[in-house]
Amino acid sequence: MTWLPLAGLVLVLITGALLVALIFLQRKSPARFRRIPAFDHLNRAIGLSVEDGTRLHFSLGRGDMLSVNGAASLAALAALQRIAQQAAVSDKPSVSTSGDGVLAILSRDTIESAFQSVGAAEQYRPTSGQVSGLTPFSYAAGTISVIRSGDVSANVILGHFGAEAALLADAAERENTFLLAASDNLPAQSVLFAAADQPLIGEELYAAGAYVKAGGSHLASLTIQDILRWLIVLVLLGGMLLKLAGVL
């Protein structure tokens, strides 16, 4: 099985080449994706928070950036930057909470760069990115206090969560605030599907950057995902046919 690392490297190189090519191609002819109503509702919630002068709360979960859970956190950070840009003109700046120190530092940098990109650097506050707790339920307790602070009108919960996501969803419901939520964890997905106003299912978490228009690379990545899916399907069908023919 010594060929496996080489095959993995080849796949990474092909994916990288496709990403670069699709970024340039989509500048001329943007790809069209299926409509996800949750993002339409999110845009409306952002607009209402700006009009009301209220705050948008973004919770990034507890994903360790050095583990496989970091993928969900990176997807959440991409969405955070774009959403923070849209809400930068509000009287009260957006705030993010997380359960990991590295993730909190990245969230602060993301929010600061979002404000700078729209010429509102004076709106940024160091408290915009907070560590609300380092264990599942201490994180939930700290995040609930932000949700229930009284000046939050919309909550976006994206990232790696466990069963504590139910507490966050319940707090948002009690405050009668908008809630869009997604997680890479199956128990959290099941809880959020039942409790959130606008849940995202499965891979829709990783599509968030594309749907909030965070950049061309996010749009291209969705097309690459579709290409890789069809490639896997063809490989499976080919293996099945070779097995039936007695070759394998």
The full set of domain ranges for the chain reads: 36-214, 215-248
Please, are residues 62 and 98 in contact by the beta-carbon 8 Å criterion?
yes
Confidence band for 48, pLDDT divided at 50, 70 and 90: confident
Please, are residues 62 and 139 in contact by the beta-carbon 8 Å criterion?
yes
Confidence band for 3, pLDDT divided at 50, 70 and 90: low
Average pLDDT over residues 74-87: 88
* pLDDT score, position 183: 92
Kindly tell me if the per-residue pLDDT of 167 is higher than 80.
Answer: yes
Tell me the two tokens of residue 140. 């939930």
Average pLDDT over residues 144-149: 91
* pLDDT score, position 31: 66
- What span, in angstroms and rounded, lies between the C-alpha atoms of 208 and 204? 6
Average pLDDT over residues 125-150: 89
> pLDDT over 90 for what percent of the chain?
22
- What span, in angstroms and rounded, lies between the C-alpha atoms of 37 and 45? 12
- What span, in angstroms and rounded, lies between the C-alpha atoms of 62 and 102? 10
Scan for tokens 């600061």, then name that residue.
112
Whole-prediction pTM value?
A: 0.82
Rg (C-alpha) for the chain, rounded Å, is 20
Q: What are the C-alpha distances in Å from 76 to residues 6, 42, 79, 89, 205? A: 31, 14, 5, 21, 8
Q: SS3 for 197?
A: coil
* pLDDT score, position 140: 92
Q: Which of 1-10, 70-79, 207-216 has the lowest average pLDDT?
A: 1-10
Chain-centroid distance of CA 52 in Å reads: 25
- What span, in angstroms and rounded, lies between the C-alpha atoms of 180 and 195? 10
State in words which class domain 36-214 has: alpha beta
* pLDDT score, position 1: 53
* pLDDT score, position 171: 92
Q: Which of 101, 34, 52, 36 is nearest to 73 (CA)?
A: 101
Average pLDDT over residues 29-35: 73
* pLDDT score, position 4: 64
Tell me the two tokens of residue 92. 């009260």
Average pLDDT over residues 12-41: 78
Confidence band for 172, pLDDT divided at 50, 70 and 90: very high
Residues in the chain: 248
Phi, psi dihedrals of residue 14, rounded to the nearest 5°: -65, -45
Scan for tokens 């909190």, then name that residue.
104
